[in-house]
Structure 1
Amino acid sequence: MAKPTELAVKLLLSISLIFGIMTSTCETEHTGTESSYDVTLMTLNPGHFHAALVQKNMLPSVNPNVFIFAPEGDDLALHMERIEAFNTRDENPTNWKLTVYTGSDYFDRMLNERPGNVMVTAGNNRMKTDYILQAVNEGVHVLSDKPMAIDSGGWLKLKDAFRLADERGVLLYDIMTERYEVTSRIQRILSQNRELFGELEAGDAENPAIVKESVHHLYKIVSGQPLRRPPWYFDVTQQGEGIVDVTTHLVDLSLWGAFPGEPLYHEEDIEMVDARRWPTTITRQQFENITGHTEFPDYLQDQLTNGDLPLYSNGEIDFTLRGHHVRVSVEWAYEAPPGGNDTHYSVMRGTKTNLVIRQGAEQNYRSTLFIEPVQNANSTEIEEHLQRAISDLQSEFPGTEYETTENGWVLEIPDEFYLGHEAHFGKVAEAYFGYLQDGALPEWEVPNMITKYYITTMAREMAMGN
């Protein structure tokens, strides 16, 4: 029976022959059309499906000719398969033309040949920060999936990368898709409404002012088939621990939601309070169900306990943001209970109301925003302010309404504004390419990215010491 890598190479070759994708292990063929576009993508070692989602839709400023630099194997084959699915779908197909280089020196070749101006990276995180640092040093723009750093050493390199990016005049940006989730957007807007929300509470360690929690599942069925994850995904030295991975989104939402458009600096605005990490135990059979590989690879053998893998995918971080207590946590279970799905919970506590996002079974796993008056608040006055706030929302979210609940009110948001996780990647890409045309990121983005990764990587160090 063929090994997974052999199957991947065969698949890669068959896709190339059937769909005319250009592949090369020697010279990368240039099309000569790059100069007529603002953006030409160079995809580096696309080990995560997020790399493909950047290309789910075409954009006028982006060259349809995309250059891929990666080692041969399963990750590359699956990436090409996903792009071809976009090209051949019935509704609004894309027209990407891929040029692939698969030599062992793929990263150096990308920097030397430079067929594009934007490096997209989403995959194995072990070398990601080093690749980012080298790319910006060579004057290449970078659009990176999270996390951009998985430990404190990586954070120091990332800080240096932002310094070099500024000196070289290139834009380094991470893909924060959750900012485009509609309930997060409206929660942020309403939190700035002083008549409705009041001021953000200071909170404390027992009752934080901001809480973000998410529960995810390793084994999922998508379109009737198990979602395949690569074996390296289970190696925290390659993927990163949970406390530095999904928490990136949760920390980002906390900063972005509490102080919109304001730069936040880790030296003066952040105090680390506590952090903890704990494992989800993965059996060999569960590993096979998720990856398709029957045995744990050699690089995981020294991490096994009684034949099982303790995967440190779970973490919780407590910190203060300009004096406001914040708690974020992420948990990964093997699979959801029957009828279950991923869940999300978020609360911002104000002096007049709490803004609560729930996405559990009672909400049919649909993100739902509740407005709940605090104790002793005048509910009649609060509802009058809510009515005015809903009226103001109509320009951006027409059709949004509210209904009364036992504890306050719940927003009824039209389906069209629930874009879905995959569509959020296109929104991030569109925003980033707009920044490239402008020649700069918003002034608050870089300090907040540095601060965000300071929080996640310092939390890992703190949790490992606890």
Structure 2
Amino acid sequence: MKISPIVGSLLLAALIAACQSKKNEDDMIHLITLDPGHFHAALVQKTMFEGVDSTVQVYAPDGPEVQLHLEKITGYNTRSEDPTHWHEDVYLGTDFLDKMLADEGKANKARSVVVMSGNNRLKTDYIQKTIAAGFNVLADKPMVISAGNFDKLKDAFATAEKNKVLLYDIMTERYEISTLLQREFSMQPEVFGTLEKGTPENPAVTKESVHHFYKNVSGSILTRPSWFMDVAQQGEGIVDVTTHLVDLVQWECFPEQTIDYQKDIALTSARHWTTDMTLSQFTAITKQPAFPDYLKKDVVKDSVLRVYSNGEINYQLRGVHAKVSVIWKYKAPEGTGDTHYSIMRGTKANLIIRQGAEQQFKPTLYIEAIGKDADTETALKTALPAIQKTYPGVEVKKIAKGWEVIIPEKFKESHEAHFGRVAGKYLEYLKAGSLPAWEVPNMLAKYHTTTQALELAKRTSASSVATR
């Protein structure tokens, strides 16, 4: 049959369009959510991303945790302002991990990102198996909660390099504007000078984070899984939230420099202690009427649960003394919330973030001169234009003791919004085909610090009990 030139042209155009459509589809990034036991998994999808498929595969055991995750995604899809349009393709079953690893037809593994946020006891194994199968992984912190599993994580990074896939953790605190500006001002020698070395009693860097079990997230009281209070599954506070703090110490003190955990880190001391919770308080945040059997080991007097959620690490990083601590309280007083305190001590000025009642519980950055205020004021006038190039509108205001950094509202984002920032940055790395050279060794340094600190804290506690 003879085809006319016009018909032939139309067929050729259709073929080219089909091929282009297929190419565009192959270029799309595909998200996969694995066993979402923590609300952070949903926060990754609070916004849409260019170049990311709107269909997301979910693999999980059936139960309330995955249902809460799906409800949050539905909430984002149906909100009145800037709704998302995710479609969740859900597989539920006890064999969810094997099913994900074997589902060759669902997506191109090299273009797929497995998002993990849930039970931390299982997470390191999930990471290792998923990376070995050829998937990229974006994991909530912590990637590992015990020194015994540290080598598994180390092997996973080696496998990721071999398989040419990216393994990355979600460090949201790098995107808090007061922290970003603390880092920026510390890199202005005329203002900050150089970082002090400090001592164990007076560290050069101190970071303290206060959190609450009972909290409001996305407009409703957060329901936590019962295992969140089991340190064997969630991990102690010293290996969980302190991950962020240790990361910030490295990221601010030695920006974009590689940390060698075998040479650059020395622990000075570490301790841990409990937050006590009544059964009624436990029920309020889990919706469970009784403590499960796996928590009874931590229950005293039949009704009080003791959770090792608090921890402190005092250590040296390349000779700089740092202290990080995390404190968990049950519930914040009305009108307050989680708080953060941070100080970087320089030879010319201290950079301090406070977030108390005086700051209306909003993180606020201060600059306090070590020498004469007049010298610091002159230095600020010189340094500010460089900072304003990146952060237009940032100013400083003289107060009784130093200066308050005035930050335009456009730069102030919620903690929830930071998850989108991390995901966006990760997608940039994925497009480039690699992480910055310092990221992988610094992730290993971070988790070496936290897991070894837990071992030290346990030894210190055991020694203390033995000498009583």
Structures share fold, TM-score greater than 0.5: yes
Mapping 1:374-385, distance limit 5 Å: 374=370, 377-385=371-379
Secondary structure of the 1:94 match is: coil
User: Aligned equivalents of 1:86 and 1:306: distance in 2?
Assistant: 42
Q: 1:33 to 1:296 in 2, by over 3 A?
A: farther
Decide which of 275, 283, 288 is 1:288's aligned counterpart: 283
User: Aligned equivalents of 2:397 and 2:181: distance in 1?
Assistant: 16
Secondary structure of the 2:398 match is: strand
Residue 138 of structure 2 aligns with an amino acid whose one-letter code is L
Partner of 2:445: 451
Q: Offset at 1:302?
A: 2.1
Decide which of 274, 297, 300 is 2:295's aligned counterpart: 300
8 Å CA contact 1:198–1:351 kept in 2: the answer is yes
Q: Offset at 1:36?
A: 3.3
Partner of 2:347: 351
After superposition, the C-alpha distances for 1:149-186 in whole angstroms (9 at most, x for unaligned) are 00001211101111111111110000000000001101
Partner of 1:244: 239
| 1:226 equivalent in alignment to 2:221 | yes
Decide which of 42, 49, 72 is 2:32's aligned counterpart: 42
Partner of 1:309: 305
Stretch of structure 1 that moved more, 319-328 or 296-305:
296-305
User: Aligned equivalents of 2:335 and 2:74: distance in 1?
Assistant: 32
Residue 421 of structure 2 aligns with an amino acid whose one-letter code is K
After superposition, the C-alpha distances for 1:409-465 in whole angstroms (9 at most, x for unaligned) are 011101110111111000100110110110000000000000000000000000011
User: Aligned equivalents of 2:195 and 2:216: distance in 1?
Assistant: 40
Mapping 1:12-31, distance limit 5 Å: none
Decide which of 351, 365, 379 is 2:361's aligned counterpart: 365
Partner of 1:335: 331
Mapping 1:433-444, distance limit 5 Å: 433-444=427-438
Partner of 1:397: 391
Decide which of 154, 178, 195 is 2:173's aligned counterpart: 178
Residue 339 of structure 1 aligns with an amino acid whose one-letter code is G
Secondary structure of the 1:256 match is: helix
User: Aligned equivalents of 1:61 and 1:399: distance in 2?
Assistant: 32
After superposition, the C-alpha distances for 1:100-129 in whole angstroms (9 at most, x for unaligned) are 111211001101114242110001111100
After superposition, the C-alpha distances for 1:205-224 in whole angstroms (9 at most, x for unaligned) are 00000000011111124577
Partner of 1:79: 69
Secondary structure of the 2:344 match is: strand
8 Å CA contact 1:213–1:330 kept in 2: the answer is yes
User: Aligned equivalents of 1:109 and 1:52: distance in 2?
Assistant: 21
Partner of 1:276: 271
User: Aligned equivalents of 2:40 and 2:413: distance in 1?
Assistant: 16
User: Aligned equivalents of 2:271 and 2:117: distance in 1?
Assistant: 26
User: Aligned equivalents of 1:330 and 1:339: distance in 2?
Assistant: 21
Mapping 1:107-146, distance limit 5 Å: 107-114=97-104, 115-116=106-107, 117-146=112-141
Pairwise CA RMSD of aligned residues?
1.4
Q: Offset at 1:323?
A: 0.2
User: Aligned equivalents of 2:218 and 2:423: distance in 1?
Assistant: 25
Mapping 1:167-206, distance limit 5 Å: 167-206=162-201
| 1:104 equivalent in alignment to 2:99 | no
8 Å CA contact 2:310–2:326 kept in 1: the answer is yes
User: Aligned equivalents of 1:89 and 1:343: distance in 2?
Assistant: 28
Residue 358 of structure 1 aligns with an amino acid whose one-letter code is R
Q: Offset at 1:396?
A: 1.9
Residue 313 of structure 1 aligns with an amino acid whose one-letter code is S
Residue 347 of structure 1 aligns with an amino acid whose one-letter code is I
Q: Offset at 1:56?
A: 0.9
Residue 279 of structure 1 aligns with an amino acid whose one-letter code is T
| 1:91 equivalent in alignment to 2:85 | no
Residue 95 of structure 1 aligns with an amino acid whose one-letter code is H
- The runs of 5 or more residues in structure 2 that have no matched partner are 1-21, 461-468
Q: 1:223 to 1:141 in 2, by over 3 A?
A: closer
User: Aligned equivalents of 2:377 and 2:298: distance in 1?
Assistant: 55
Normalising by structure 2, report the TM-score.
0.90
Decide which of 131, 149, 153 is 1:154's aligned counterpart: 149
8 Å CA contact 1:34–1:40 kept in 2: the answer is no
User: Aligned equivalents of 2:220 and 2:194: distance in 1?
Assistant: 47
After superposition, the C-alpha distances for 1:373-419 in whole angstroms (9 at most, x for unaligned) are 11xx1321211111222222222221111111121101110111011
Mapping 1:402-421, distance limit 5 Å: 402-421=396-415
Determine what percentage of the aligned residue pairs are the same residue. Answer: 52
Secondary structure of the 2:232 match is: coil
Q: Offset at 1:340?
A: 2.8
Q: Offset at 1:34?
A: 8.7
Residue 201 of structure 2 aligns with an amino acid whose one-letter code is E
Secondary structure of the 1:339 match is: coil
Residue 305 of structure 2 aligns with an amino acid whose one-letter code is L
Partner of 1:322: 318
Residue 58 of structure 1 aligns with an amino acid whose one-letter code is M
User: Aligned equivalents of 1:94 and 1:221: distance in 2?
Assistant: 21
User: Aligned equivalents of 2:215 and 2:331: distance in 1?
Assistant: 7
Residue 277 of structure 2 aligns with an amino acid whose one-letter code is I
Partner of 2:382: 388
User: Aligned equivalents of 1:171 and 1:153: distance in 2?
Assistant: 23
Residue 252 of structure 1 aligns with an amino acid whose one-letter code is D
User: Aligned equivalents of 1:357 and 1:322: distance in 2?
Assistant: 23
8 Å CA contact 2:30–2:55 kept in 1: the answer is yes
8 Å CA contact 2:145–2:240 kept in 1: the answer is yes
8 Å CA contact 1:34–1:63 kept in 2: the answer is no
User: Aligned equivalents of 1:423 and 1:340: distance in 2?
Assistant: 19
Q: Offset at 1:35?
A: 3.7
Secondary structure of the 1:196 match is: helix
